């Protein structure tokens, strides 16, 4: 680092200029840490149970620059239990509900976690009713005063 300064004074007679220069070098003074971000997506995030099951695929989108990820730990149901250690897992849900998802990635510098509350919505299929035509009757109209 070089610091320079100059001072000019104007008084009686000729202007006078004084230059000050000081050179200092500092090694390892600025430390830039690599960008680290845990991120993920799911497809789909809203799903209807079909045949009692609904499949969701998760994708790790974490950016750890040159650190490299050593391990992945996914909690896909929000119960605090690791459900998968794959980088891009798939989960089959069998119960309707809202599910919180967490991803913990481990690098040589340690672990970082990202949680998305109520991220997956699994819905029960909509009940439909059908009445066979043989059982339909025409309703009588009732007059109201």
Domains of the chain (ranges; CATH) run 40-123 (2.60.40.10)
The whole-number pLDDT of residue 26 equals 80
Asked if pLDDT for residue 15 goes beyond 90, the answer is no
Question: Which pairs count as long-range contacts for 95-102, CB under 8 Å and 24+ apart, including other chains?
Answer: 95/122, 96/49, 96/122, 96/123, 96/124, 97/121, 97/122, 98/122, 100/75, 101/40, 101/42, 101/58, 101/74, 101/75, 101/76, 102/74, 102/75, 102/78
> What pLDDT band is residue 18 in, cutting at 50, 70 and 90?
low
pLDDT in tens, 37-60: 999 999 999 999 999 999 999 999
pLDDT in tens, 88-116: 999 999 999 999 999 999 998 899 999 99
The whole-number pLDDT of residue 5 equals 53
Determine contact, residues 91/78, Cβ cutoff 8 Å.
no
């Amino acid at each position: 680092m070089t610091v320079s300064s100059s001072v000019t004074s104007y008084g009686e007679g000729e202007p006078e200029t004084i230059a000050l220069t000081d050179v200092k070098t500092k090694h390892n003074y600025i430390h830039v840490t690599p960008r680290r971000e845990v991120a993920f997506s799911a497809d789909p995030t809203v799903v209807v149970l079909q045949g009692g099951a609904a499949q969701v695929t998760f994708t790790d989108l974490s950016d750890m620059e040159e650190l490299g990820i050593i391990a992945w730990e996914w909690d896909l149901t929000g119960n605090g239990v690791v459900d998968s250690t794959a980088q891009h897992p798939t989960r089959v849900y069998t119960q309707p509900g809202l599910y919180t998802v967490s991803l913990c990635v481990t690098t040589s510098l340690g672990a970082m976690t990202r949680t998305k509350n109520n991220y997956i919505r699994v819905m029960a299929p909509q009940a439909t009713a059908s009445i066979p035509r043989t059982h339909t009757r025409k309703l009588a109209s009732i007059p109201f005063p």
